[in-house]
């Protein structure tokens, strides 16, 4: 059975279409289209996709095929970056189709936006976008199989039911397996998707049960899955040497000398352009091996025009922020009540300055792309979170029709938002076009760190007022962020609804900007991973200034009545109370020098509260000993095993950021180049993470991002509880905490 699902929006209407036909080699093909999509793949095209031995076929939203032997093939539509969608999304169809998970085979789609829109990985959106549509496609297939069996037996369909992989007629005891029914099911009139009956969650056999990563055996045995693993006949290797200053240009280079080196095939200057995330200026090297290409690169002595960014530095940004912070904000994002009057009348006023640095994504698989031209047609193999914008970027840059470009989505060795940009893809396409042979472009670790789309830094000035009972009555923020051409940089904004907006009667959010050419972009829990640190840390400060327990202080805020602009305060209060209970907050007997810290945060539709147990050694070294996490992501955790892994990974990611990650700039250059200067978290610093989910009556939402933001302030608040010293800038300064 082949099922091809077009998803433009998760809402279904009576105009939804479900088409059926015979699959190649026997079986049933389903093609479901929602209104507003120009064209869908033909049954023949989708059948080739499922029967092809390789991935040389269009991509999908969901394909399903039931072969005559009963094996079910489901094609995963979205890029897999370790977030588990290659396993999770097919689970939705398999559940409603009512098949045995052991009989399911999963293959990865290619990019094809005409047939399969919204093929991307980001924003923790895979679950909310696909939860209902994919289940309905599976349910429609189940209904057609039931009808085929009823027609075979000459009985009403209502007398038939399914068990995994078969249809049964209860009265007669007859049964037929799906593989036996698939051909006849292809002749059944497809139901309207909005009319199909979905399973009662109490009957789920696949959803809600721990399912192992479908790629797990291949990963642990070292089989090729990732972009970096691609090998093509006749393939050569490429490196691209770019200006160390962002948007600098190559004026000249010692090309004849380097081109004569052993193993070097071609070497030339690429002019590039000024598009963010596009084609930079630099020197391309093509060689017989990556070792030869890197040796040639090391021998290059290019002359650079460093452009206007050469004078920029972290020290300069810090100094500029110090002049902007005490001045009036350039823009008022939100103003409730009269904050100045409320501050003047407050019993206690608390002020603090917070900051955080630029941060690099650093997926363990550096950026890479393999490209092959065949006349005016281009084929790409790459690890990307966002294949279609990459295709359009190549088309625009090289003047190639987009429909002449095919992209194979390889498994990503980490993404975290970096692979939403496709600069490496257009570089590979450009180099391959001149080379005339397939090439694999591979960035070095230094390339990856020095040419990232960084999480932007920021500076926050806070001033808040408490009344005589310790209640928060006034809140004033001045956020100094970065801009490009007068607009806030990507992921550098402050939302007017940021907590505690709506929970404080007199509140003002103001911002000011300073120009930069540093390329920025989303990083796991974009914006939230920084805003959580400053806001939840300052709320902890206010709790202590009020002489109140930090959890009790925040619950008092959350328990206020009224509408809160999409923020469900009771849901957050529930997870806060649950994490207090699970962590033994206020009751746990801790070893000497240990303390607990708390934070909560809502992002990417997930409500999370976290408690960290930490200690600080006399040397200033911070150690997290355990983390308790409670989250509410709706009524169903689809794959509990993957969900737990996602939360644990997010927590460790956040702890790693807090302990040591910082990107700085001098003379327009990134000063860090490898893990020795940018230390990712090691096993010795990775604490056990206790994960618990509350089930609520809301549609399920995603898990790749919302567990990260609270852990950073929770760790920093634990440091304060242990030492009395407040962490107001990241990464945590061990020198400040040192006592010997």
Other Cβ atoms less than 10 A from the Cβ of 145: the count is: 29
Instruction: Look over the chain and give the mean of its residue pLDDT values, rounded to a whole number.
Output: 91
> For 661-723, what is the HEC assignment?
CCECEECCEECCCCCCCCCCCCHHHCCCEEEEECCCCCCCCCCCCCCCCCHHHHHHHHHHHHH
- So what CATH class is 227-307+367-442? alpha beta
Fold matches, 2-207 and 227-307+367-442: yes
Tally Cβ neighbours within 10 Å of residue 529: 27
Domain limits, the chain: 2-207, 227-307+367-442, 315-358+455-737
The answer to whether the CB of 68 falls within 8 A of the CB of 78 is: no
Confidence of residue 492 (pLDDT cuts 50, 70, 90): very high
Q: With bands split at pLDDT 50, 70 and 90, how would you rate the model's confidence at 7? A: very low
41 near 115, Cβ under 8 Å?
A: yes
> What are the residues facing 463 on neighbouring strands?
351, 476
Comparing CA positions, the residue from 91, 127, 73 lying closest to residue 205 is: 91
Dist CA 418 CA 493 (whole Å): 18
- pLDDT tens, residue by residue, 575-633: 999 999 999 999 999 999 999 999 999 999 999 999 999 999 999 999 999 999 999 99
Confidence of residue 133 (pLDDT cuts 50, 70, 90): confident
Distances (CA, A) of 38 to 33, 35, 115, 449, 534: 10, 9, 9, 40, 46
CATH assignment, 2-207: 3.30.365.10
| Contact criterion met (CB below 8 Å) for 32 and 16 | yes
Residue 48 reports pLDDT greater than 70: no
3-state SS class at 409: strand
Give CA–CA dist 702/652, Å, rounded.
18
Confidence of residue 186 (pLDDT cuts 50, 70, 90): confident
517 within 8 A of 317, measured Cβ to Cβ = no
Assigned CATH class of 315-358+455-737: alpha beta
- pLDDT digits over 323-365, tens only? 999 999 999 999 999 999 999 999 999 999 999 999 999 999 9
Residue 28 pLDDT level (bands cut at 50, 70, 90):
low
Residue-level pLDDT at 274? 79
Stated pTM of the model: 0.92
pLDDT digits (tens, 9 = 90+) for 223-249: 999 999 999 999 999 999 999 999 899
**For residues 196 and 177, what is the distance between their CA atoms, to the nearest angstrom?**
21
Q: What is the pLDDT of residues 397-450, one digit of tens each?
A: 999 999 999 999 999 999 999 999 999 999 999 999 999 999 999 999 999 999
CA distance 86 to 8: 19
């Amino acid at each position: 059975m082949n099922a091809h699902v077009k998803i433009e929006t998760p809402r279904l209407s009576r105009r939804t279409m479900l088409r059926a036909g015979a699959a190649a080699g026997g079986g049933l093909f389903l093609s479901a289209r929602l209104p507003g999509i120009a064209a869908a793949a033909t049954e023949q095209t989708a059948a080739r996709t499922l029967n092809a031995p390789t991935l040389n076929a269009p991509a999908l939203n969901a394909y399903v095929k039931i072969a005559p032997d009963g094996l079910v093939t489901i094609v995963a539509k979205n890029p897999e970056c370790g977030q588990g969608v290659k396993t999770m999304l097919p689970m939705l169809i398999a559940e409603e189709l009512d098949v045995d998970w052991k009989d399911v085979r999963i293959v990865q789609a290619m990019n094809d936006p005409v047939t399969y829109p919204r093929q991307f990985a980001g924003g923790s959106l895979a679950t909310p976008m696909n939860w209902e549509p994919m289940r309905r496609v599976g349910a429609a297939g189940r209904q057609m199989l039931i009808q085929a069996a009823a027609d075979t037996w000459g009985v009403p369909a209502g007398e038939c039911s399914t068990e995994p992989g078969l249809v049964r007629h209860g009265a007669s005891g007859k049964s037929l397996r799906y593989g036996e029914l698939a051909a006849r099911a292809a002749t059944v009139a497809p139901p309207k998707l909005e009319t199909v009956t979905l399973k009662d969650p109490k009957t789920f056999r696949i959803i809600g049960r721990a399912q192992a990563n479908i790629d797990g055996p291949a990963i642990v045995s070292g089989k090729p899955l990732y972009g970096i693993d691609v090998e093509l006949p006749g393939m050569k290797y490429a490196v691209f040497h770019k200006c160390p200053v962002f948007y600098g240009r190559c004026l000249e280079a010692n090309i004849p000398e380097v081109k004569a080196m052993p193993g070097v095939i071609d070497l030339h200057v690429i002019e590039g352009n000024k598009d963010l995330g596009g084609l930079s200026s630099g020197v391309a090297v093509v060689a017989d091996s990556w070792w030869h290409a890197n040796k040639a690169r090391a021998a290059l002595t290019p002359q650079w025009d460093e452009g206007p960014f050469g004078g920029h530095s972290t020290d300069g940004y810090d100094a500029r922020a110090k002049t902007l912070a005490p001045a009036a904000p350039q823009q008022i994002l939100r103003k409730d009540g009269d904050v100045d009057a409320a501050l003047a009348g407050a019993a206690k006023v608390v002020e603090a300055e917070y900051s955080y640095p630029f941060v690099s994504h650093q997926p363990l698989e550096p950026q890479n792309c393999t490209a092959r031209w065949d006349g005016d047609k281009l084929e790409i193999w790459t690890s990307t979170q966002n294949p279609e914008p990459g295709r359009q970027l190549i088309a625009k840059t090289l003047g190639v029709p987009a429909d002449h470009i095919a992209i194979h989505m390889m498994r990503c060795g980490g993404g975290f938002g970096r692979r939403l940009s496709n600069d490496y893809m257009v570089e590979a396409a450009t180099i391959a076009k001149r080379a005339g042979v397939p090439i694999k472009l591979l960035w070095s670790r230094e390339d990856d760190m020095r040419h990232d789309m960084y999480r932007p830094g920021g500076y926050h000035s806070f001033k808040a007022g408490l009344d005589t009972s310790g209640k928060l009555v006034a809140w004033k923020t001045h956020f100094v962020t970065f801009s490009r051409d007068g607009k806030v940089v990507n992921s550098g904004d402050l939302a007017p609804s940021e907590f505690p907006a709506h929970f404080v009667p007199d509140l003002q959010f103001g911002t000011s900007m300073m120009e930069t050419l540093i390329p920025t972009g989303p990083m796991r829990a974009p914006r939230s991973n920084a805003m959580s640190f400053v806001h939840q840390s300052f709320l902890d400060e206010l709790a202590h200034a009020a002489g109140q327990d930090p959890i009790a202080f925040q619950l008092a805020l959350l328990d206020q009545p009224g509408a809160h602009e999409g923020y469900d305060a009771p849901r957050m209060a529930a997870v806060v109370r649950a994490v207090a209970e699970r962590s033994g907050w206020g009751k746990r007997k801790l070893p000497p020098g240990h303390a607990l810290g708390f934070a909560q945060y809502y992002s990417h539709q997930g409500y999370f509260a976290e408690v960290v147990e930490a200690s600080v050694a006399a040397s200033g070294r911070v150690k997290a000993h355990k983390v308790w996490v409670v989250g509410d992501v709706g009524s169903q955790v689809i794959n509990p095993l993957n969900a737990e892994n996602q939360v644990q990974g997010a927590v460790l990611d956040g702890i790693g950021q807090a302990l040591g990650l910082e990107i700085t700039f001098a003379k327009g250059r990134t000063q860090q180049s490898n893990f020795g200067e940018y230390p990712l978290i090691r096993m010795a610093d990775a604490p056990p993470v206790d994960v618990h989910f509350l089930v609520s009556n809301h549609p399920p939402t995603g898990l790749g991002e919302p567990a990260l933001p609270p852990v950073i302030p929770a760790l920093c608040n634990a440091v304060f509880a242990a030492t009395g010293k407040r962490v107001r800038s990241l990464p945590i300064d061990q020198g400040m905490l040192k006592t010997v």
